[in-house]
Amino acid sequence: MGKGRDMSLYAVVDPATGDVVQEYPTATDEQMEQALSAAVKAHREWGRTSTLAERAALMKQVARLHTERREELAKIIQREMGKPLDQALGEVDFSAAIYEYYADNAEKFLADEPIDLLGGEGSALIRRSSVGLLIGIMPWNYPYYQVARFAGPNLTLGNTIILKHAPQCPESAAAIQQILTDAGYPEGAYVNVYATNEQIAKAIADPRVQGVSLTGSERAGAAVAEVAGRNLKKVVLELGGSDPFIVLSTDDLDATVEAAIAGRMENTGQACNAAKRFIVAQGIYDEFVDKFTRKVLETADGLAPLSSVAAAERLDEQVKLAVDNGATLVSEGQRKGAYFPPGVLTNVSPDSPSYKEELFGPVATVYKVASEEEAVELANDTPFGLGSYVFTTDKEQAKRVADRIEAGMVYVNLVGADSAELPFGGVKRSGFGRELGRFGIDEFVNKKLIRTG
């Protein structure tokens, strides 16, 4: 949304034109209370009493409806945040796969876990069960996928959800609510709210709420964690990333450059786990920079807008500051509204603010290193620790570097390999907790010990 717009006002603003397509009324305090009451009631009457098989069947329906409505759903997020249609369709399909994954695997993940006793008679086991009402706070960059990561495991577990989506994603938020309603979930199992930040802070503090999950900025994560901590609520945070893409050796530089482009330009560069800092061995640095820069500039043709004019203005400020501090920028054209020209930064000084920041858009930073040791040191010299990428022809080197990188995820010799079964999350200022895979259903759960004599 452009500067001057009230960020608590929910509206679809077409990033390509800046036109306000539709505005949505913010929730009243009475509606927030109704949402809380309905979600607590749904947990008591449905979450606690339904069988896992029944909840898995509902989740199957959610997956099916995403697939059935994929074209309509994709066009919504193209309007809301500018995602290219092919990528929007891919996001809907990935979301359906996540719901399907939890429906298919919940019985295995939630099975009783026997404990071998060290002494004494009888038996002991861990039984996993829901904890109650959760709040989800989701961002604009992957409107369906982000919700699926949270709602898929937790609704399957029997937790109920109040979901606050990004202010620029009210239409996709409503579409998700409609899918869950049409799938057969009872009233209150999942409640979409167009809430203000103040209303959400008050809800997190409410004793009826058992936990909160946020994907978003460091600032938003800190604010939510502060309220949650003060009120003793469990939190999962997935925040920013400045993921390193380390190239130590390659037997196919063109393929490595293509992987680098894919890793940086997915979603017009607006992904928390996108490759953002390219750390290249000096022996191949010059050739890599040459090929990579040409490919980056080629992406300008048909490049989608960023999510908003404000997002483009923020990136513009960061890039200009880097250049003012001595960096070299290769780019063509100027920013026009939310459209941002792709570019490559080199010679970024460690003293520049840009060195430590996340650049959210189609701009890559490239560094030259003289050794494996220097590559690892530079990769870890960031406040963030979300994802990372290592390209090398040396298998032993790949293992060493992967072990030493301070990140929640390391991908070796590949990009774009995210999948429903692979845990997602980070360390340091990228947050804590995990989503997806087995660990995604193990966050907001009562791991109850039952010891029988």
Cα 40 from Cα 28, distance rounded (Å): 19
Q: Of 91, 272, 372, 435, which residue is the catalytic one?
A: 272
Q: E strands within 65-201?
A: 113-114, 123-130, 133-137, 160-164, 190-193
Closest by alpha carbon to 266, among 451, 87, 417? 87
Q: Where are the alpha helices (DSSP H) in 335-381?
A: 372-380
Asked if 9 and 23 count as a contact pair (C-beta separation under 8 A), the reply is yes
Element (H, E) at 367: strand 363-369
**Per DSSP, what are the bridge partners of residue 160?**
133
In eight-state DSSP terms, residue 267 is G
Using DSSP, state whether 450 is helix, strand or coil.
strand
Residue 113 is a catalytic residue:
no
- Indicate the residue type of 313: E
Rounded to the nearest 10 degrees, what angle do helices 170-183 and 52-68 cross at? 130
Helices H / strands E in the chain, number of each: 14, 18
- Indicate the residue type of 54: E
Cα 328 from Cα 183, distance rounded (Å): 53
Strand pairing class (234-238; 209-215) = parallel
Strand pairing class (328-331; 363-369) = unpaired
Residue 238 is a catalytic residue:
yes
Q: Of 91, 238, 372, 435, which residue is the catalytic one?
A: 238
Asked if 95 and 148 count as a contact pair (C-beta separation under 8 A), the reply is yes
Cα 259 from Cα 247, distance rounded (Å): 11
Report how far Cα 204 is from the mean position of its chain's Cα atoms.
21
Strand pairing class (190-193; 209-215) = unpaired
Torsion (CA) 40, 32, 54, 174 in degrees, nearest 10? -170
Q: Which residues are catalytic?
A: 238, 272
